[in-house]
Amino acid sequence: MKEKVKVHLSLVIPVFNEEQNVVTLHKEMTEALKEHPFPYEIIFVDDGSTDKTAHFLKQICLQDEKVKSILFRSNFGQTAALSAGFDLAEGELIVSLDGDGQNDPADIPMMLKIINQGYDVVCGWRKKRHDTFLSRRLPSFIANRIIAFVTGVFIHDYGCTLKVYKKEIIKSIKLYGEMHRFIPAYASWAGAKVTEVQVNHRPRTAGISKYNIMRSFKVILDLITVKFLCDYSTSPIYFFGTFGMGLCGAGFLSAIITLVEKYYQGVWVHKNPLILLAILLVILGVQFIMIGLLAEILIRIYHESQDKKTYIIKEIL
């Protein structure tokens, strides 16, 4: 019986309607890794393509035993495709890159050298992008600045799919929505050492871009979720309770002002709109505190039912 070879490097490529790119991309990755000294695998994830992408992937799998392909029944999005590829990956190092041919596989060996210098995540930075300014580069620039400011993890290009991860980092992160772009922030919050390096970005020569401006709005909503989960995932009462106490305090202040105006200025309470504002603020404050308590209960059920720890151990000496 042939002994299974331990894979050192896994490449994960999500594709959607990229029939004109997958064969060329496979050849480029094979060429880029021909000098790689350890076994590697290439994992294509077809995100429900409606063209001949799946057909070409099957042909590639027959020709190259290093290639695996995951075929989705429907289009679930890039984050889901990357998550499926990460789950199947066996390598100690995992590389992700786009399937549209704009990420250059020739950059992978250079990024592998950098991650072997003691980093846990190496992010690609498309400093010279070959995309349209108004629909791609400008929204990306604004989104990157907002994400860096909110997360506190300052890298230039969160949207670049070309990244290298250590297995123990990426396997511990669960992805939802459009959250694949926030992996560096998740990793940094978990204590990983993150860096970035300039990579080559090529113009799209075949196929149609799947990007649209609506994704920018999804990113903002996901950013709110990420910030909340990372800062308050184990203590949501602090988030909701802070708002609740503030609202209750403002309500009591409005009530005091109402009494002062009644006794010193002769303003009748039932004619003073501040009393209605006081009641509203106190009710909202109590509701926020109650939501925080319910969230605390849910968090405890979540962690205790799965025996999920609220900490991450790097090493035991």
- What CATH number does residue 61 fall under? 3.90.550.10
Q: Is residue 314 part of a domain?
A: no
Quick check: 193 and 121 in contact, CB under 8 A? yes
Say yes or no: 199 and 76 in one domain.
Answer: yes
Quick check: 95 and 197 in contact, CB under 8 A? no
Say yes or no: 55 and 151 in one domain.
Answer: yes
Quick check: 215 and 143 in contact, CB under 8 A? no
Say yes or no: 253 and 136 in one domain.
Answer: no
Boundaries of domain holding 99:
9-232
Say yes or no: 217 and 269 in one domain.
Answer: no
Residue 108 belongs to what H/E stretch? helix 108-115
Q: Measure the CA angle with vertex 149, ends 146 and 153; round to 5°.
A: 115
Written as tens digits, the pLDDT of the chain (317 aa) is 456 668 899 999 999 989 888 999 999 999 999 888 889 999 999 998 988 999 999 999 999 999 999 999 888 888 889 999 999 999 999 999 998 888 999 999 999 999 999 899 999 998 888 777 666 777 778 888 888 888 888 888 888 899 999 999 998 888 877 788 888 988 888 888 999 999 998 887 775 665 655 666 777 777 787 777 777 777 888 889 999 999 999 999 999 998 888 888 887 877 788 889 999 999 999 999 999 899 888 878 876 776 766 555 555 54
Q: What's the structural domain count of the chain?
A: 2
Structure tokens at 232: 């308050």
Say yes or no: 201 and 245 in one domain.
Answer: no
Domain end residue (candidates: 186, 209, 232): 232
Say yes or no: 241 and 134 in one domain.
Answer: no
Q: Is residue 59 part of a domain?
A: yes
- Phi/psi at 134 (nearest 5 deg)? -70, -40
Domain end residue (candidates: 189, 209, 232): 232
Q: Is residue 311 part of a domain?
A: no
Give the sign of the dihedral formed by CA 138, CA 121, CA 239, CA 242: negative
Structure tokens at 15: 């594709």
Say yes or no: 30 and 67 in one domain.
Answer: yes
- Compute and round to an integer the Cα radius of gyration of the chain: 25
Domain end residue (candidates: 192, 215, 232): 232
